[in-house]
Amino acid sequence: MKQADPISSRERLTVLRQQLAGRLVGPSPQEQPAPPAGRSLRYLSLGLPPIDAHIGGGLVQGALHEIAGAGADAELALLPAFFAAQVMLQHRNQRAIWIAATPDLYGPGLQAQGLDPTRLLLVESRQEVESLWAVEEAARSGAVSLVIGEIDLLDLTASRRLQLAAEEKNCTILVLRRSRLLGKGGKHRQPSAATTRWLISSLPSRPIDDHRPGLGLPCWHLHLWRQRNGPPGGWDVTLPEQPALQEQPALQGQYWQLRAAEPQRRAAMAANDDSKPFTSKQYRAPAG
Amino acid sequence: MTASPSPASNTAPLQAKRYLSLWLPHWSTDRWRQAQQGRATKKPVPAEAPVVAICTAAGRRLISAANETAMRLGFIPGLSLADALARRPGLIHFPADPMNDARALQRLAAWALRFSPLVMRDGQDGLLIDITGCAHLWKGEAGLRQDMLDRLQQHGYSCRIGIADTIGAAWAAARFAERSPIMPMGGHRKSLAPLPIDALRIDLATAEALRRLGLRRIGDLYPLPRAAIASRFGRPLLDRLDQSLGDLSEPFEAVFAPPPHRVSQIFAEPIGTAEDIRRSVDLLAEKLAAQLAELGLGARRVKLSCYRLDHQVSEIGIGLSLPSAKAAHLIDLLARKIEQIDPGPGIETTMLSAGKVEALRQSQAGLDAQAPDNHAEGDDVALAGLIDRLGNRLGVGKVYRLAPVESHLPERAAARISPVRRGQAAAWPRIVTASTACYWRPLRLLDHPEPVEDVIALVPDDPPLQFRWRHVLHRVRASAGPERIVWEWWREIDPQSAPPRTSPSAQPVRDYYRVENETGQRFWLYRAGLYRPEQPARWFLHGLFA
């Protein structure tokens, strides 16, 4: 090994020491407000204040978010679709594109939520690879600000690619996990670069009141099981008895709202502590 | 052979046209021989053997076409097959196939586009090509003619080619002027004079009548008073004469309307690699975009045609959702499809043409004009670009929007529309109002209603208490309904479009229920048909709620 020049090596050593000291102490707050250099984080509010507060203001814009449906919904991806529809409902001015291999999204169903289906650009892909390509292409185009893709398998590499694509043009990507093989759900536990990862399960509906038996208002459990730089969480949501009748008819729609947790349910949630790592074995769809 | 006059000595008016007439005298027999050679199992037919094509007319089998040897032996079209076989027992014959002959001629016309964009089919066995201003690429008309002859004869097609100022003269030159098939510019009157009167494209009876009067050559008609010709032989003869001499214009109906906006590149050496094609596309796209932009136009459909050495054309096409005159955009879309080009033995010419152009809208408004969002106009252009990229890879119609259809049948209530110009589509009515508190439609609708089994209902017209769908048994916890939807009786007028009676959607009445199982999954089920005691109720699952 060749001996380096003693003076220069001493200088370099000093520099290295300074750098190391800086590392150990940590960056001064002025130096770096988190990695996304040159862009301030903006959020897509979910319209549910406690959840928004929990995740720092809403879904981070220009990032990848992953939503899966629990249990039998892994194949149908209805609950993730509902989540995406609610996000679109809260942010009607976001230009959205919806990419799916199974084109079974139903226009009147979106309309029933209060959305205008014509505003949504829909893409039917033939294969998983094409879906991923289309999601990335749409995110990088800068033409849309919300990309919703129904994707079966999203591995770490693919999710990193999508995360980078999302950052590039500040486009939010919602990946709805949808298993294409019947009975092969539950792959949502793959590692992923997504900023937030949600698992949604349906809950038995809530009767409107005691005098009206039959099908009540639908309820869901939103489980935020992974969040970058934040704790997980779980909330029950439902639809209101009356759809929101805003002054502007353009804003009417069935917005979700938080459901006041019933005592026994709250106890159950306490038992299933949020801070514990979540596994699908532990998770059981709550019995009716 | 007469060389074409050099441009310097060109004294003809600027509008002077030059037509090339290609005559394939043995088109159907040559084509048949080509097809035979392609089949390895058949033993080859010697080139000199007489071959005739047979058609059936009025119960008799007649020769409809014959090759050169057969013609020489007297097997002319119109002779009955029985006579021909009596004279030559082993005569090779095959059933005529005029439809495929015509198709093949159409393909040949497409191939002939390499000589000129204006090609017209001429009868059953010929082509007419407007070669005005094209011949210099072959160093003169003689060169062009020779090139075409070589290419066709190489593949075993006998052909004759004539070139003249008028369609009629070129036709005559191809068929009757074997020694001087190229009539010099402005010299067709002189060149036509020694040709037989049959060269005027007149019917046999007229030709025979003329011959009986001693008028054997076209030149014999020149000194005759026109009024006399007209009164003796009628207007058609005079018209044909005038057309051949260029005194009367004749319509030219090009088979393929030439795309008005096209640029092409001819290679000294044939190319075949994707990189070379890509470089050619870059060059052509720049040219085409500049050409379009100058006219204020944008392309909606662009086609890249690669003319190959083996007379095939390999093409790729792209569609654009909004007219564009941006070279980068065209290149971006074309480059993704270059690998689909089959270069074959090599590509000698590439041509980029804008098949459909529209006026370029300076501000491309209208895409979202009525939308409440305030996106910049640049976004619309970006969106159109995205739609193009997705559509060109995934296929036309795979990028769409949903528009409402005035139908209360759930499967017909939405239809796909083009992703751009959604302002033209009907608006979705707003359903959410105070009076109808909730309007329930599923978020996902199955393609076809799926039958469910093991249905147990308390009373036959009640919602089910349990059902099995996709092998999973669901116990119903709560349900709501029914919502009765009746088949649109007026659509049954057309039995073609109506599904068969046995299919579930053909049931005249459906009672839809929303049901929820024990885990909170919500389904949209219906019972097909009204309840009848004698037959069990049939249940179908049509959609799913979130």
Position with higher pLDDT, A39 vs B459: B459
The answer to whether the CB atoms of B428 and A93 lie below 8 A apart is no
Q: Give the per-residue pLDDT at B3.
A: 40
The answer to whether the CB atoms of A85 and B441 lie below 8 A apart is no
The answer to whether the CB atoms of A285 and B431 lie below 8 A apart is no
Task: Chain A: give the shortest CA distance to residue B430, in Å.
Answer: 7
Domain-wise residue ranges, chain B: 40-97, 193-247, 261-359, 444-545
The answer to whether the CB atoms of B445 and A106 lie below 8 A apart is yes
User: Between β-strands A217-227 and A196-206, what pairing exists: parallel, antiparallel or unpaired?
Assistant: antiparallel
For B132-179, what is each residue's pLDDT tens digit? 888 888 888 899 999 999 988 888 888 899 999 999 999 999 998 888
Task: Chain A: give the shortest CA distance to residue B398, in Å.
Answer: 5
Size of interface A-B (CB pairs under 8 A): 215
Q: Give the per-residue pLDDT at B322.
A: 81
If one counts every other C-beta atom within 10 angstroms of the C-beta of residue B438, the result is 14
Q: Both tokens of residue B384?
A: 């159109």
Query: CB-CB: which of A71, A134, A216 is closest to B519?
Result: A71
Query: CB-CB: which of A138, A182, A214 is closest to B478?
Result: A214
Contact predicate A196/A249, CB 8 Å: no
Taking Cα atoms as reference points, which of B260, B11, B255 lies closest to residue B122? B255
Within chain A, which residues score under 50 in pLDDT?
A: 1-2, 4, 26-38, 263, 266-267, 270-288
Q: Which domains does chain A have, with CATH numbers?
A: 43-271 (3.40.50.300)
Taking Cα atoms as reference points, which of B166, B147, B148 lies closest to residue B18? B166
ipTM (interface pTM): 0.76
Task: Chain B: give the shortest CA distance to residue A37, in Å.
Answer: 24
The answer to whether the CB atoms of A245 and B434 lie below 8 A apart is yes
The answer to whether the CB atoms of A204 and B477 lie below 8 A apart is yes
Task: Chain B: give the shortest CA distance to residue A254, in Å.
Answer: 8
Give dist(CA B246, CA B542) in Å, integer. Answer: 71
Share of chain B above pLDDT 90, in %: 15
Instruction: Find, in chain B, the residue whose alpha carbon is nearest to that of A205.
Output: B520
The answer to whether the CB atoms of A104 and B446 lie below 8 A apart is yes
Topology, domain B261-359: Dna Ligase; domain 1 (3.30.1490)
Question: Which chain A residues have a beta carbon less than 8 Å from that of B440?
Answer: 112
How many CA atoms does the CB half-sphere of A280 hold within 13 Å? 15
Q: What is the CATH number of domain B40-97?
A: 3.40.1170.60
The answer to whether the CB atoms of A95 and B545 lie below 8 A apart is no
Task: Chain B: give the shortest CA distance to residue A3, in Å.
Answer: 50
For A159-197, what is each residue's pLDDT tens digit? 999 999 999 989 999 999 988 765 555 566 778 899 999
- Taking the CA atoms of residue B25, residue B31, residue B34 and residue B36 in that order, the dihedral angle to the nearest 10 degrees is -120
For A131-140, what is each residue's pLDDT tens digit? 999 999 999 9
Task: Concatenate the DSSP letters of all residues of A221-282 into one string.
Answer: EEEEEEETTS--EEEEEE--SS-B--SSGGG-B---EE-PPPHHHHHHHHHS-TTSPP-TTT
